[in-house]
Amino acid sequence: MGNIKSHIKYKQPSIKKIPEFDQIESDQERNEKACIFQSSFSSPVEDKLIQGCKVLDIGCGAATWLLELSTKYKNSYFYGVDIKPIYPQEIKPYNLEFIKADVTDRLSFNDDEFDFTHVEFMSFVFTSNQWDFVLSELIRVTKPGGYIEVAGRRNGYVGEGPIFRKLTDAIWLMYSKQGIDVKLMYNLDSKFELQPNIGKVHRIEKDFITGPNGGKIGLVWQDMSIAYFKSKLAIQVISKELGISEEEFNNMVKNLTEEFKQTRAECVHVRFWAQKQLSE
pLDDT of residue 29: 56
pLDDT at 3 over 70: no
**Quick count: other Cβ atoms within 10 Å of Cβ 81?**
21
pTM for this model (two decimals): 0.85
Residues 19-275: name the CATH superfamily: Vaccinia Virus protein VP39 (3.40.50.150)
User: Is the backbone of residue 21 left (phi > 0), alpha (psi -120 to 50) or beta?
Assistant: beta
pLDDT of residue 2: 40
pLDDT of residue 87: 77
pLDDT of residue 229: 94
Helix or strand holding residue 57 (H, E):
strand 54-58
Query: Which residues lie below 8 Å from residue 75, measured CB to CB, with a gap of 6+?
Result: 49, 50, 51, 52
Convert the pLDDT of each residue in 134-154 to its tens digit.
999 999 999 999 999 999 888
pLDDT of residue 4: 34
pLDDT at 31 over 60: no
pLDDT of residue 14: 36
Convert the pLDDT of each residue in 55-107 to its tens digit.
999 999 888 899 999 999 999 999 999 988 777 777 889 999 999 999 998 99
pLDDT at 15 over 60: no
